[in-house]
């Protein structure tokens, strides 16, 4: 009788151990984590605008996949997906952080590009004003024509910057606008130096 009681007890124990030990892979959590990462990439372009944050979330997803694979190779009653679930939960929070960072970084890049566009526009306007005030002589006529052509070319480049901003190439737009500003400022500087030199000659 006692043997049967012990046998029954151990049978129930083994069955309970089997039922609790045969854990199932966290498929739902995996789908949710993958969706969160995909959404951060497609809707917020986090891989472009927040590459470090996005890489961190992707690394957590890769770690979860590896952990699930590792547990899947173990004996049924020895499988434990707790760590994988923790990693998957981390993916969701990190993906949300990447999405938020991407939105902030993109807005910052957009604002910077528009600011640099305005700086380039102002630089060209200032150069044209200096050009209009430059005295036209036989010594300066050719230079003035060249500067006029250069500024016309900068106007075309300015249109390209606007198109780049419209196409959300904010970084490229900022770089190109900086180049335009530097070139226009260089023209203004040369015109100022030429005027000062001419004034010195007249005073002699």
Q: pLDDT tens, position by position, for the chain (204 residues)?
A: 544 554 454 455 455 545 445 689 999 999 999 999 999 999 999 999 999 999 999 999 999 999 999 999 998 789 999 999 999 999 999 999 999 999 999 999 999 999 999 999 999 999 999 999 887 777 678 888 999 999 999 999 999 999 999 999 999 999 999 999 999 999 999 888 877 776 666 666
Do 20 and 98 fall into the same domain?
A: yes
Q: Which of 105, 131, 156 is the last residue of a domain?
A: 105
- For the chain, the domain total comes to 2
> Quick one: pLDDT at residue 22?
62
- The answer to whether the beta carbons of residues 113 and 177 sit under 8 Å apart is yes
Q: Show the domain range for 77.
A: 15-105
Residue 10 lies in a domain: no
Do 162 and 79 fall into the same domain?
A: no
Residue 152 lies in a domain: yes
- The answer to whether the beta carbons of residues 39 and 94 sit under 8 Å apart is no
Q: Which of 54, 84, 105 is the last residue of a domain?
A: 105
Residue 4 lies in a domain: no
Contacts for 195 with CB less than 8 Å, ≥ 6 apart? 133, 134, 135
Do 149 and 114 fall into the same domain?
A: yes
Do 75 and 114 fall into the same domain?
A: no
Do 97 and 134 fall into the same domain?
A: no
Apex CA 39: angle with CA 36 and CA 114, to 5°?
Answer: 130
- The answer to whether the beta carbons of residues 174 and 112 sit under 8 Å apart is yes
Do 87 and 119 fall into the same domain?
A: no
Do 101 and 113 fall into the same domain?
A: no
Do 120 and 187 fall into the same domain?
A: yes
Between CA 51 and CA 60 the distance in angstroms is 14
Do 129 and 45 fall into the same domain?
A: no
> Quick one: pLDDT at residue 204?
63
Residue 3 lies in a domain: no
Residue 147 lies in a domain: yes
Do 136 and 71 fall into the same domain?
A: no
Do 95 and 119 fall into the same domain?
A: no
Q: Which of 105, 127, 145 is the last residue of a domain?
A: 105
Residue 58 lies in a domain: yes
Do 25 and 84 fall into the same domain?
A: yes
For tokens 């699930």, name the residue: 68
The dihedral built from the CA positions of residue 142, 143, 147 and 148, taken in this order, carries a sign that is negative
Residue 21 lies in a domain: yes
The dihedral built from the CA positions of residue 186, 176, 121 and 140, taken in this order, carries a sign that is positive
Residue 46 lies in a domain: yes
């Amino acid at each position: 009788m006692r043997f049967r009681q012990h046998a029954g007890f151990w049978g129930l124990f083994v069955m309970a151990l089997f039922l609790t030990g045969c854990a199932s892979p966290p498929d739902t959590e995996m789908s949710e984590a993958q969706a969160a990462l995909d959404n951060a990439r497609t809707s917020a372009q986090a891989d472009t605008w927040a590459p470090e944050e996005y890489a961190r979330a992707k690394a957590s997803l890769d770690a979860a996949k590896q952990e699930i694979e590792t547990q899947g190779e173990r004996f049924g009653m020895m499988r434990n997906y707790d760590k994988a679930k923790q990693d998957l939960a981390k993916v969701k929070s990190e993906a949300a952080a990447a999405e938020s960072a991407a939105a902030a970084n993109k807005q910052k890049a957009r604002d910077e590009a528009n600011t640099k566009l305005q700086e380039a526009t102002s630089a060209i306007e200032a150069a044209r004003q200096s050009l209009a005030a430059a005295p036209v002589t036989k010594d300066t006529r050719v230079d003035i024509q060249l500067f006029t052509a250069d500024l016309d070319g900068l106007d075309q480049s300015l249109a390209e910057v606007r198109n780049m901003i419209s196409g959300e190439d904010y970084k490229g737009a900022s770089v190109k606008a900086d180049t335009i500003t530097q070139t226009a400022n260089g023209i203004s500087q040369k015109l100022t130096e030429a005027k000062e030199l001419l004034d010195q000659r007249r005073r002699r």
